[in-house]
Amino acid sequence: MTPMNAIARPVYSRAVTRSPKKGPATAAVRSGWRASRLVFQRVEARAGKRKGTYPNVKFDFLGYEFRPRAVWGSQSGRLLCGFTPAVSPTALKATRSAIRDLGIRHRTQAPLADIAEKLNPLLRGWIGNYGRYTPSALYPMLRYVNQTLLAWAVRKYKRFRNHKTRASHFLQRLVRENVSLFVHWQIRMTDTFA
């Protein structure tokens, strides 16, 4: 239902209840009938053009996706619609693929310090590059890193085999003891392990 349709219904219902064919029609009824016909013609014309009227307003450029987002106005202090960049979904997919290619989940013989040594340069680069504008858009990728570390812990330690929650608590404790081990732990992205 379009907004124009909502406006047109009362006019149309008045015109139908007093149809000019069933008796003497007043000038008001005739004008209401004409107005409803004009409104319906406009609604039909708009419905046909709707796809072309609103083109796709987002695009990818150098790993960033530019699209309308909610931003806080610095002067007004209100939520506004701004056209801001953030990491693109294709870049996020590429980062997840790079993490998957490292095979962290299957390196059960390696200690966590070795995994951090391999992963930190990549994370530092991604956070530095894509985290400049809209850093919250990086959270899905950082959550994926935490879930990969959780899968590593479940595979490495027998006591966590069927206990993901215990492994999650183990990693949370590890974060509290050694925050500087991973780059994304230093920026406080530590809440999602499960």
Q: Average pLDDT of the chain?
A: 79
Between 141 and 21, the more confident residue is 141
Asked if pLDDT for residue 89 goes beyond 90, the answer is yes
Q: Report yes or no: 29 and 15 within 8 Å, Cβ to Cβ.
A: yes
pTM, full prediction:
0.67
For residue 108 the two structure tokens come to: 């059960």
DSSP-assigned letter for residue 186: H
- Whole-angstrom Cα distance, residue 115 to residue 107? 8
Average pLDDT over residues 55-68: 84
* pLDDT score for 70: 85
For residue 122 the two structure tokens come to: 């990549």
- 98-130: pLDDT as tens digits: 999 999 989 989 899 999 999 999 999 999 999
* pLDDT score for 122: 94
Average pLDDT over residues 68-79: 86
Asked if pLDDT for residue 14 goes beyond 70, the answer is no
> Residue 38: which residues within 8 A CB-CB, separation 6 or more?
none
Helix (H) or strand (E) segment spanning residue 81:
strand 79-87
For residue 90 the two structure tokens come to: 């294709």
Which of 19-23, 33-37, 66-70 reaches the highest mean pLDDT?
66-70
How many CB atoms neighbour CB 123 within 10 A?
Answer: 23
**CA dist 181 to 18, 19, 65, 118, 186, Å?**
79, 80, 30, 12, 8
For residue 46 the two structure tokens come to: 């708009």
Q: Which of 84, 99, 107, 184 is nearest to 138 (CA)?
A: 184
